[in-house]
Amino acid sequence: MAKSSAIKVLEHCYVSPPPNSVPPTSLPLTFFDIPWLFFTPSQPLFFYEYPHPTSHFISTTVPNLKHSLSLTLQHCYPLAGNLNSPPQPGKPQLVYTDGDKVRLTLAESGGDFNRLSGNRPRNVNEFYQLVPELPTNVSCEEQLLPLLAIQITVFPNHGICIGLAYHHVAADGRTFNNFMKTWASFCSHGDSFSIKSLPSFDRKVIVDSHELEGIFLKEWWKRKSSEDIVAGNGAANKASLSDMVRATFVVGSTDMERIKKWIIAECKKDNVPLPIHLSAYVLTCAFIWVCLIKTQERKIEKCYDQDPNYLGFIAGGITRLDFPVPASYFGNCVGFGRAKAMRKELMGEDGVVVAAKAIGSTVKRLDKAIFEGAEKWISDWVVLFGSELHVMVAGSPKLDLYETDFGWGRAKKIEEISIDCMRAISLTESRDVEGGIEVGLALPKTKMDAFSSLFNGGLKALL
């Protein structure tokens, strides 16, 4: 396994919105935001090809990146602010004061850009030097928690990596994607770029008809008082990363069609109803879930066939709500789904059918009633993070992240680093395979080898 190359820090600085461009603002957390208080920051990395030396990066690219980021923060100012967690029974809120800023680190790496931005297994620790530091917890003494940090690392004459760490409490994937696209547009088009739809910060559009805010706040204060705040506490799991590798697997549209036809054939053969929702997302998640369960099974000595296994995922809320929320809304507007199946069934010959039925049924239930069982969102998450057998899905293939162009073309590779400590997989639309989905995961080397064998062997078997 190749060793990581040292990073040379070129500059630590801060970027703010233009002076006096944003008034002091406080945004109360909604019930959609509060559950994310329990999570460590998201840590996406965007790799871009960049055939220029460090001198060009410093003299030309860096000033443009700083200026465009400042203009973007003028419109997405909560990310430049802080999370304010007042003493109990106060309600956490996002606060922005003139002069608030985002920490920006500029660095240079002598590492192998092409290898890091590839799909093959690489040691997970090679990526952490590309991720900016951001506090993960609110102490009793310090109530203000920064929400965003950025690190831009140049690989001379090869590439650039834009690494970010942001607290999900401020933005869901849709909101953060809008932030990234806006920054990229200002960077590539200059001050002439005009935002078509300005972010909406109106919290009144979020209607708490199920009185979830009180339930979630109670959970927050209970766990905060016991210092058990972050469900996927990264620091607690760093020691277990030494043997872990990161890899990406692509499920193409032809693969999905094979999986779908196989599921239909098996259901007809067994004379059982078809799964009610066989979308690309469901087909991909079902296949990956079964491969992961079989991978984990090989290393788990004590197991029980009748134990339930869960696959947790995020469901977009804007199209599922019975009240209107603008697409430009800045904040969280997602629900939580948890598909359930027995391990014995997932391990069986028809495991993918079982998984597809469980996931598809959960998706359709969320379509019909996204808040059904919502009072258990936080406790369900705790169950998912508490067991190696359960799987969490991060990201969405619907966001077109690869179209984020800073003027250097489409991203070459996108990685989500936070999955290392979350026992999660990440989903992104495929860069090179039309209609495909990239699946990112981090596993111990022996398990990754087993997963790769199951993944490739499973697709061949469907032929």
Distance CA 351, CA 340 (A): 12
Tell me the residue length of the chain.
463
Q: Give dist(CA 416, CA 152) in Å, integer.
A: 16
The alpha carbon of residue 246 and the mean position of all alpha carbons in its chain are separated, in whole angstroms, by: 15
Specify whether the backbone of 395 is left (phi greater than 0), alpha (psi in -120 to 50) or beta: left
CB-facing half-sphere around the CA of 265: CA atoms within 13 A? 8
- Alpha-carbon distance 128 to 448, whole Å? 19
Cβ count within 10 A of residue 242: 10
Q: What is the largest CA-CA distance in the chain?
A: 68
- What is the spatial distance between Cα 333 and Cα 325, in angstroms, rounded to a whole number? 9
Catalytic residue among 158, 167, 168, 390: 168
| CA–CA distance, 463 with 454 (Å, rounded to integer) | 15
Instruction: Name the amino acid, one letter, at 342.
Output: M
Residue 45: beta bridge partners? 163, 415
Question: What DSSP designation does 324 have?
Answer: -
Question: Please, are residues 330 and 76 in contact by the beta-carbon 8 Å criterion?
Answer: yes
* Set 98, 112, 405, 449: catalytic member: 405
H or E element that contains 328: none
Do residues 429 and 397 lie in contact, with contact meaning Cβ atoms separated by under 8 Å? yes
Token pair belonging to 312: 């947790």
405 carries an active-site annotation = yes
Beta bridge partners of residue 338, listed in sequence order: 312
Closest Cα to residue 185, out of 404, 17, 400? 404
Instruction: Give the whole-angstrom CA distance, residue 41 versus residue 166.
Output: 5
Residue 228 is among the residues annotated as catalytic for this protein: no
For 57, what's the count of Cα atoms within 13 Å in the CB-facing half-sphere? 24
Q: Determine the straight-line distance between the first and last CA of the chain, rounded to whole angstroms.
A: 33
What SS3 state is found at 456? Answer: helix
- Rounded Cα distance, 460 and 240, in Å: 33
For residue 95, CA distances in Å to 37, 80, 447 come to 15, 9, 43
Helical ranges in 270-393 per DSSP H:
280-297, 343-347, 351-368, 377-385
- Catalytic positions, please? 168, 405
